[in-house]
Structure 1
Amino acid sequence: MRAEHRLAAIRRALADEGVPAMLVTAVSNMRYLTGFDGVFDDGINAACLVTSEHARFYTDARYSEAAQAAAGGTPWTVRQTSGSMYIDICRELQAEGVTEIAIESSVPYGRFKFISEQFVGSVRVTDGLIEKIRQVKEAAEIERIQEAARLTDAAFEHVLGFIRPGLTELEVALELEIWMRANGSEGVAFAPIVASGPNSSRPHATVTGRTIERGDFVKMDFGACVGGYRADMTRTVVVGVPSERQREVYAAVLEANEAGLAAVRGGAAARDVDAAARNVLAARGLGDAFTHGVGHGVGLDIHELPTLNAQSRDVLRTGSVVTVEPGVYLEGTFGVRIEDLVVVEEAGCRVLTRSPKELIQLD
């Protein structure tokens, strides 16, 4: 992906802040600014330095060859460090007469302290400066997210033929992960949630060795990853014949999901989308059982801006990719969540996750 316009955007933001340079170390922000593919992993030792004149990518010998290849034809200069990367960067800045830098508020305190001690000048913390730019996705970013959503849908279709009584949650989660990896996903977007029976009443249940039984809801929250970009979808199915209460709750959550989707559009207040879904559940006496926000942004990270909950001050921007995921959780009994991934458009939204949402009964 091209980096020039992303660098221009961050330089404009820095100029507005009155800061001559920014040191970026969050992996997703570095990947966004550089547009590099085939370089980043969760353990990378790297940093990006952006000034009005320079765009430098610092890393060690383990990543240098891949970074040099990725940087070809881009504005980025790759610097291989042999000692302490942050000491090298601070010395370069000092030699160039830079007396103030910005760093991300998300950096670990130990890193902030070390940089502050090494840099001869002022270190300013900025909150969400790059993340706010990342909210609006480019067409190429949406294409990758859409492909990740397509793989996610296909994985769901596959796993429907796999789930049966006697399997464990662990076996279902592993089948999802293996299938997605084998069919083009870069690992998984996040650790899948597979929660059955009473475990499904926990919104973010950990996968266990519990055996799936007839009559269980099985709640599955998972996503593929393509080119660094993630998908996120939840579907809840029932093994065997559902009870009347299960049908009632499922129908309420589905109606809330549709109400939330109908409220999504460019310029909408994020908390209004949350309210649209929440009001449906409250009207059915289930408001207290919906215990989290209705959604969040998705992209290089599985949770990005904007935040869609009752307290959010965010406004949805055309080109953002967000989830709509109402749920009902009846402690110790069962839970239902239905989650879609959508692109925010001027007059509504385009749904990327196409898996069926009617209550699926598995024999």
Structure 2
Amino acid sequence: MIPALYAPRVEKLRSAMRAAGADLFLCDHAEMLHWLTGYTVSETFYRGCILPLEGDPVWVLRAIDEVPCRAATWVRDVVVYADHEDAHACMADILRRFGSVRIGADFTSFGFTAFTRDRLSALLPGTDWVNLHEISNRIRSVKDAHEINLVAQAAQIADGAMAAIAQGIAPEMRARDASAIAAQHYLTHGADDYWVGPISIARRAAQAEGHGMGFLHATFTEDRLAPGDILHVELVPRVGYYAARFMRSISLGQASAEDTAIMARIAALQDAQFAAIRPGVAARDADAILREAMLSEGLRESYPNITGYQLGSYAKTPRSSETMVSLHPGADWRFEQGQVFHLYTTARGLALSETVEITADGCRRLTRTDRRILVAAG
């Protein structure tokens, strides 16, 4: 029997399979594996779960991962192979159990590479592969109450970690010292791991001409903080694989009147975006509220990036953000109740963002730190 938490997810996927004419679905996307089965693992060797339209699913993975898989998943049929065996051949053997069928897969999944497609096609001649395009991310867009609760727990940890950094950072410390403060807070307050997020000295980090966003994803340097510096902090803690994210700027000493005014205006413009978001609103319209105001007021010279993207679970994959469902001028989707987003903006070396939940009435912040430049107590 499928547990109550997973039954709606399985039926949602099976509905998509029926619509596409697929008899089986080969799930090899790390985050979708967790969403669908309760377990995920990095692709050291090829692995995945086979879901038929009727009957029980089958997990296929390396033998060393069998015990943690069985401990976490509701799927009873777990087939394993030794590391010296051919993982794709093992998967093909299990797929043959289901006879001559149309096999659905997400061709945009990091697991379903061109090599995997070609190898399985060679092992299963005559198989008709059905592309359920981008389903691994889009099907998980609307979160259930369990998922939102995990994001909310992560948001609480993020708020606490930001406060700990603001309290503990001081001149002569480095960005990595701020990261160490956050990592300790993460681990002692229930986060999955110590992956903190990008932290940099904003106006000494690499700056991209025109939009000044080089500090957002800058790597650590050994530069020491000095009075008057702005520390950029983005925190990304996970609980049960589900992440919250938010950004603040922390001033070493009292922030200048100019910076304080810029941040207040950024917050007001983003608040207007938040106020406009509710179920049914077009994503491109919500994006335009912030984007056009930032440009028209001269806070940005250009705006090449998105203004938000959906949040969810994050496993060990090449991608650290889910940008298939994101806010930009060409976004052709509408907000739905139960979605969770990281909405963000930056200007002149300052950054502001929140984790938000789309409710029946609008847009609710899950991160609660004051929306201003924070001042380092150190």
- The verdict on a shared fold, with TM-score over 0.5 as the criterion, is yes
- C-alpha separation between the residues in 2 aligned to 1:265 and 1:243? 35
User: Which deviates more, 287-296 or 256-265?
Assistant: 287-296
- Per the alignment, in what secondary structure is the counterpart of residue 218 of structure 1? strand
Counterpart in the other structure of 1:310: 329
- What is the CA-CA distance between 1:44 and the residue it aligns to? 6.8
Answer yes or no: is 1:20 the counterpart of 2:23.
Answer: yes
Which residue in 1 is equivalent to 2:363? 349
Judging changes above 3 Å, is the alpha-carbon distance between structure 1 residues 42 and 198 closer, same or farther for their aligned structure 2 residues?
A: farther
The partner residue of 1:264 within 262, 277, 283 is 277
* Equivalent residues of 2:241, 2:313 under 8 A apart: yes
- 2:43, 2:130 → 1: CA distance? 25
1:99 equivalent in structure 2: 101
- Name structure 1 gaps, 5 residues minimum: 330-334
Q: Which residue of 2 aligns with 1:81?
A: 81
Between the aligned partners of 2:373 and 2:233, the Cα distance in structure 1 is: 13
Shift of 1:303: 2.4
Deviations 1:142-184 (A, max 9, x none): 0000000000001111111111111111211222122212221
Partner of 1:243: 256
Distance in 1 (alpha carbons) for counterparts of 2:61 and 2:103: 19
Cα displacement string for residues 123-156 of structure 1 (whole angstroms, at most 9, x for unaligned residues): 2332112322200101000000000000000111
> 1:222 offset after TM fit, Å?
1.2
Q: Could you say if the C-alpha distance between residues 236 and 42 of structure 1 is closer, same or farther in structure 2, counting changes exceeding 3 Å?
A: farther
Structure 2 residue identity aligned to 1:303: S
Identical positions, percent: 21
Deviations 1:311-360 (A, max 9, x none): 2112111100012211114xxxxx11100111101221111000111222
For 1:146 and 1:187, locate their aligned partners in 2 and report how far apart those are by CA, in whole Å: 17
3-state SS, counterpart of residue 33 of structure 2: helix
Contact 1:270 1:309 in 2 (8 A): yes
Distance in 2, matches of 1:91 and 1:40, equals 21
* Unaligned 5+ runs, structure 2: 315-319
What secondary structure does 1:146 align onto?
helix
In structure 2, C-alpha distance between the alignment counterparts of 1:320 and 1:35, rounded to whole Å: 20
Of 111, 130, 133 in structure 1, the residue corresponding to residue 116 of structure 2 is 111
Structure 1 counterpart of 2:129, one-letter code: V
The runs of at least 4 aligned residues of structure 1 exceeding 6 Å deviation read none
Kept in 1, the 8 Å contact 2:179–2:196? The answer is: no
Matching residue of 2:317: none
Alignment of 1:217 onto 2:230 = yes
CA distance in 1, matches of 2:43, 2:163: 30
One-letter amino acid matched to 1:128: E
Aligned counterparts, 1:1-363, within 5 A: 2-36=5-39, 40-41=41-42, 43=44, 45-52=46-53, 53-71=55-73, 74-82=74-82, 83-105=85-107, 106=109, 107-120=112-125, 121-188=127-194, 191-199=197-205, 201=212, 202=214, 203-301=216-314, 303-304=321-322, 305-329=324-348, 335-362=349-376
Instruction: Determine the C-alpha separation between the residues in 2 that align with 1:23 and 1:360.
Output: 47
Give the counterpart letter for 1:282 in structure 2. Answer: L
Task: Report the secondary structure of 1:339's partner residue.
Answer: strand
Contact 1:306 1:315 in 2 (8 A): no
Q: 1:160 to 1:263 in 2, by over 3 A?
A: same
Aligned length: 354
Counterpart amino acid of 2:339?
S
Structure 1 contact 265–344 (Cα < 8 Å) conserved:
yes
Quote the Cα distance in structure 2 between the aligned partners of 1:211 and 1:44: 42
The question of whether the paired residues in 1 share the 8 Å contact of 2:103 and 2:130 is answered with yes
Q: CA RMSD in A?
A: 2.1
**SS across alignment from 1:288:** coil
CA displacement at 1:54 relative to structure 2: 3.0
Per-residue CA deviations over 1:88-147 (Å, capped at 9, x if unaligned) read 222333343233212222233222222222222122332112322200101000000000
Residue type matched to 1:89 in 2?
Answer: M
Judge which range, 272-281 or 219-228, deviates more.
272-281
